[in-house]
Structure 1
Amino acid sequence: MHIPDRTLLDWLAEPAAGRGLHYADSGDSWTAHPYRDLAQLTLRCAAALGERGVRRGDVVAVMQRSSPGFVAGLFGALAAGATACSMAPPFAFQRTDEYERHISHLLDTARPALIVVDDDAAEHVRGPAARLGLRAPVRFEELIDGISPLTEPRQPAETALLQFTSGSSGYSRGVRISAQALQANVTAMRRWLQWPAEYPGTSWLPVHHDMGLIGCLVNIVVTECDGYMMQPDDFIRSPLRYLKCISDNSVRMAAMPNFGLAYILRRVRPGQLDGLRFESLRGVILGAERIDPRVLDGFERLLGPHGFDRRALLPAYGGAEATLAVTGLPLAEGWTVATPRQGSDAPAEPLGVVGCGRPLEGMSVDIVGEDGEPLEDGQVGEITVRGACVATQYVGDPGSSSGTRLGDGVLRTGDAGFLRDGQLFVLGRLGDGLKVRGRMLFAESLEAELCERGVPERRATVLLGVRDGAPTAAVVFELPRPEWIGTTLDLLTERLEDADLLAVLVPRGGLAVTSSGKPRRRVMWQALCAGTLEGRIAPMADALREAEAAARAELQPAAAR
């Protein structure tokens, strides 16, 4: 299938008739917004930005939930010749003070000429903007009120997008994405997925995260297919509604992290799928975190009786510094699991690693050793990326502990992985590992094994490193049951020999995570070493004894206490 080139703004000149974006309302209803209406709204926004004094190359921060206003704000900035920057609205954070610290850092790094917000974000952003000497945020509806649209869009600025990394290894880092890189990545994804305008897509991912922003929203709009858009909390409330949307509208393309599939498996029972069909799904892009093969198998068992083809599961790899996508599994190939080539320094991976496909058009991937030289097939090293989609540079100096580096057209990702027959297999962050008996153990691998042994995903985060001269594994537990601590103690004793084993007990919401839900392992590790990590810290064996004693006390009759 030939997938033609399309610029980022072609859809504004000739918006597709009869197609558009459909947003989930309360209940089971959807509101349709045709591309013709969205194009006019976008050109009104572009004109309004000019009237507010936004000049070519200025940064426009867009802080809105997924909505027609967000589409107009993002593409309106591009159409005005400005640099668009999507920032998380408050819903992505549990605490107001945490959100204001996060958004203050982003605003100070980006220094936007204008901040466009929705009603939810307005009050939370006004204070940080004033303290930084920035213009007061403007609500989208106020911005476009009484404005006539531009007759045609301007040429995008050299830097089309300023996007922020997840911040899993420290503060989020601003990355400059050129218009050429953004268009090249979108084109490469559309060709990888063989995605024509006739194929509907859907997304519940947040639009402040690169996977939800570029992988879903921008791809859908540039393709001009029908897009069915849900809020993240819509999906959390009812993953069944998401599946029903796919069935009812013959959706072809979707995307989510591993935890999204796992959440569907926990919340949806087979009997609830009676009458639904999933033959239409030809691509479920999986990225943003390590992929669990047991979850893929479970998803196939759940949807397979209703026409779902396991080959539609498409693991991928990428990151903000590569615009988004670097590799992806070709359509209809089918996902596979592999382990690194055996050797004294090969990491132990008893569960195997799911392959993340091959480099997309215009991209290349190498695995290099500590000396920077390429390694042989199957050997573990650092993943490096070259190609048309690699970012221009970082913005500011956020003081991140991330090992990711940009320079001379090369992205050194700070991720460990290996190649097997041209396919990339990703193990984890180089900074989140510990060498034992000459073999590297990665935090994500240990967490996968804990899930295999019954510890729920995202309730235990493993931190690895050398603390006070001793190899140390600390596990941050969120409201743990005694058996989770016992299972963890058994696994780590087995795998880490004489390392110090610590338990960190935190309440609900106590795990440090990014706005997209990734654990901030490096941040928690640094706080542990500095003595500032919140929570009760104890040797894991002591924590287990105390948890078991507390559980026994809870079981005693009140009169016996």
Structure 2
Amino acid sequence: MGIPDRGLLDWLDEASTERGLYYANHDDGWDFWSYRDLGRLVLTTAAALRAGGVGRGEVVALVQRSSPGFVAGFFGALAAGATPCAIAPPFAYQRADEYEVHAAHLLRTVRPAAVVCDDESLERLRKIAADQGIDEPVAFDQLIADTEPLERPLPPPETALLQFTSGSSGFSRGVRISAEALRTNIGGMGTWLGCAPHRPAASWLPVHHDMGLVGFLLNVVVTGFDGWMLQPDDFIRSPLRYLRCLSERRIVMTAMPNFGLSYILRRVRPADLEGLSFDALQAVIIGAERVDPRVLRDFHALLGPYGLDRGALVPAYGSAEATLAVTGLPPGEGWTTGQPDEGSGDATSLAGTAVVGCGRPLPGRTVTIVSEDGVRLPDGRVGEIVVSGVSIASGYLGDTGSASGTSLGEEGLRTGDAGFLRDGQLFVIGRLGDGLKVSGKMVFAESLETLLHQRGVPERRVAVLLGVRDATPSGVVVFAGVRPEWRRIAHEVLSEWLGDAELLSVEVPQGGIAVTSSGKPRRRVIWQAVCSGTYAAATQPLTAD
């Protein structure tokens, strides 16, 4: 069993010298920080923030990589009675101009009382903060220099986390998460996954993203088990190092999006795994983006001969507005796929792709499927996913408008995602706004992308956009570093599923697709750019030639 309903700062009173966080270093080794040492660093950070004038309920922006300093910054803000907010460091963006726009928007939204950053981010943040009229950022080591720790933490603030949505449908929005919502979400995940101090975990996920922050780091620290922490760069350079960690450290739990599994499949061969064993793994949590059943099958085919149980692959669904976790498949059950009922209106147009089940709601959460008019739909019918119950966000910060259709209200969280229920399990299809009606049925951009990936077009190298452009139903394929055969594949797929819609191709250099800090295509932003003529020189009809 896990440890539900644990206070966010309780671990400071029980900080172990034996357990803690292991950070990957550049010598292929690990630097250990015990929870006792981390706890002292947390209280030192809290004292420094208070001495610097940060008041109760004010926001502390953390622009840091995964590190002891980030842990101290997050929990130190809470221990000072302030609200932490994780913002992506510059490494998460390939283009400097995109990062500056993104970071400026987030800082302008939260107006933090303090900005704490890594040394590598300091100069960039200084310019952005100055342009926004925000106090100069401070590097973490400078913040805590010559500071004595508080004797005890102050009571946590009412808003324990200010986190941003991914921004895949436009600019990211700030979401206010209460201490109660954060605590119950961590407790719910612990019960779902059976988290306990003796069960180690590993992650390469960025801590500025809700899956890496709430789903992994906070879960690990609050529960108090060993966590093995790699940087996203470490994983990209050597996914085999990550797999060796899973094997050698007898890791029980890890997490990643579908992209991570796909990346391992491209970079790792069976011969690379000789001598490794994954029989200790009980939960590979897969979320943050649509899950491809082919990738799940291929991943198990690769690691299964080395001990990975099929039931350890655990699809899940969540959102920033729900703190994080909404549904999850119990470890050991084994994932399944499903299709909506025949004759259920737009539900049947899934572009021929099976939909992976993302499990059932965690305790205290309710998931319903509703029509456009808000009427609850029966099992097997596609509609909008609505979430209610514990750990729903208190509201948005600043402008509540959004092109995504996601909203918080009395009925709960209207997610803007399409899906259906089957025997209590949720099957997620894609964003409601990222689709096109063809012959009375909806076709979803994510379904078409899945087909392209299955035909050999790599993830992160293509994005599909669907909508009405100049009064004409249109399908747009954006290629990053296109290869000639991809055009033919895309033409075959889109022409089959989009009927008489206009088909266009936009070709940009590799890395040129606008993405969120977690790597999702910013479809609405790209669509608006296509419609406004920004990509006119790179746009042409999509043909089979």
Cα distance in 2, alignment partners of residues 402 and 139 from structure 1 = 35
Q: Distance in 1 between matches of 2:63 and 2:446?
A: 31
1:540 aligns to 2:542 (yes or no): yes
Measure, in 1, the Cα distance between the counterparts of 2:176 and 2:400: 14
> Which one-letter code corresponds to 1:493 in the other structure?
S
Partner of 2:197: 197
Secondary structure at 1:351 match in 2: coil
Show the counterpart of 1:552.
none
Contact 1:315 1:329 in 2 (8 A): yes
Q: Hey, what's the Cα distance between the residues in 1 that align with 2:400 and 2:383?
A: 26
Q: State how 1:161-200 maps to structure 2 within 5 Å.
A: 161-200=161-200
Note the 1:30-179 alignment, pairs <5 A.
30-179=30-179
Q: What SS is found at the alignment partner of 2:348?
A: coil
| Cα displacement (A) at 1:400 | 3.4
What is the one-letter code of the residue matched to 1:3? I
Cα distance in 1, alignment partners of residues 11 and 51 from structure 2: 23
Alignment TM-score, normalising by the size of structure 1: 0.95
Q: Show the counterpart of 1:346.
A: 347
Q: Distance in 2 between matches of 1:450 and 1:95?
A: 26
Query: 1:13, 1:152 within 8 Å by CA — same for their partners in 2?
Result: no
Partner of 2:507: 505
SS in 2 for 1:426: strand
Q: 1:532, CA displacement in angstroms?
A: 2.2
Give a deviation string over 1:314-364, Cα, whole Å, max 9, x none.
100011000001000012111000001111432323221000000011111
1:230-252 Cα offsets, whole Å, 9 max, x none, are 00000000000001001111110
Aligned residue type for 2:534: T
What does 1:188-337 correspond to in 2, within 5 Å?
188-337=188-337
Look at both structures and tell me which one has the larger radius of gyration over its CA atoms. Answer: 1
Aligned residues: 543
Structure 2 distance, partners of 1:206, 1:529, is 33
State the 1:409 CA deviation.
5.5
2:399 aligns to what? 397
Aligned equivalent of 1:549? none
Matched residue SS, 1:261: helix
Change (3 A) 1:145 1:33: same
The question of 1:414 aligning with 2:416 is answered yes
Note the C-alpha offset of 1:517.
0.3
Which amino acid in the other structure matches residue 168 of structure 1? S
Which of the numbers 496, 515, 518 marks the counterpart of 1:516? Answer: 518
Deviation at 1:4, TM superposition (A): 4.4
Q: Deviations over 1:23-72 (max 9, x none)?
A: 00113211101110000000000011100011100000011100000000
Contact 2:460 2:519 in 1 (8 A): no
Change beyond 3 A, Cα 1:279–1:129: same
The correspondence for 2:390, drawn from 388, 391, 394, is 388
| Same amino acid, percent of matched pairs | 63
Change (3 A) 1:149 1:176: same
Unpaired runs of 5+ residues, structure 2, are none
Indicate the larger mover: 416-425 or 92-101.
92-101
Query: Which residue identity is paired with 1:459?
Result: R
CA RMSD of aligned residues (A): 1.1
Q: Deviations over 1:64-106 (max 9, x none)?
A: 1000000000000011110000001110011222211111100
Letter in 1 for 2:438: V
Q: Are 1:479 and 2:484 an aligned pair?
A: no
Change (3 A) 1:495 1:79: same
The question of whether the paired residues in 1 share the 8 Å contact of 2:3 and 2:223 is answered with: no
Deviation at 1:438, TM superposition (A): 1.5
Deviation string, structure 1 residues 106-163 (Cα, Å, up to 9, x no partner): 0000000000011011001111211222110011111111111111111110001110
Map of 2:439 onto structure 1: 437
Is 1:357 aligned with 2:359?
A: yes
Task: Report the Cα distance in structure 2 between the residues aligned to 1:165 and 1:440, rounded to whole angstroms.
Answer: 25
SS at 1:524's partner residue? helix
Cα distance between partner residues in 1 of 2:402 and 2:377: 28
- TM-superposition CA deviations, 1:518-561 (whole Å, max 9, x none): 001111111212222476001112xx54xxxxxxxxxxxxxxxx
Report the secondary structure of 1:510's partner residue. coil
How far apart are the structure 2 equivalents of 1:216 and 1:376?
34
SS in 2 for 1:346: helix
| Aligned residues of 2:201 and 2:228 also touching (Cα < 8 A) | yes
Please give the secondary structure, in 2, of the residue aligned with 1:501. strand
Corresponding residue for residue 559 of structure 1: none
Match of 1:22 in 2: 22
Contact kept in structure 2, 1:77 and 1:83, CA below 8 Å: yes
Contact 1:160 1:178 in 2 (8 A): yes
Q: Which amino acid aligns with 2:412?
A: V
The alpha-carbon distance between structure 1 residues 130 and 534, as it changes in their structure 2 partners (threshold 3 A), is farther
Letter in 1 for 2:347: A
- Alpha-carbon distance in 1 for matches of 2:80, 2:392: 24
TM-score by length of 2: 0.98
Q: Deviations over 1:437-489 (max 9, x none)?
A: 12110000011111122222222211001111111001001111111101111
Paired letter, 1:198: H
C-alpha separation in 2, matches of 1:203 and 1:525? 33
2:454 aligned with 1:449, yes or no? no
- Write the letter of the residue equivalent to 1:390: I
Amino acid at match of 1:482: P
2:513 alignment partner AA: L
Which of 463, 466, 490 lines up with 1:464 in the alignment?
466
Which digits, 9 at most, give the CA deviation of each residue in 1:362-408, with x for residues without a partner? 11100000110110100000000001111011111175312101112
Q: Which amino acid aligns with 1:330?
A: P
Where has structure 1 moved over 2 Å in runs of 4 or more? 1-5, 344-349, 532-535
CA distance in 2, matches of 1:181, 1:495: 41
CA distance in 2, matches of 1:424, 1:222: 28
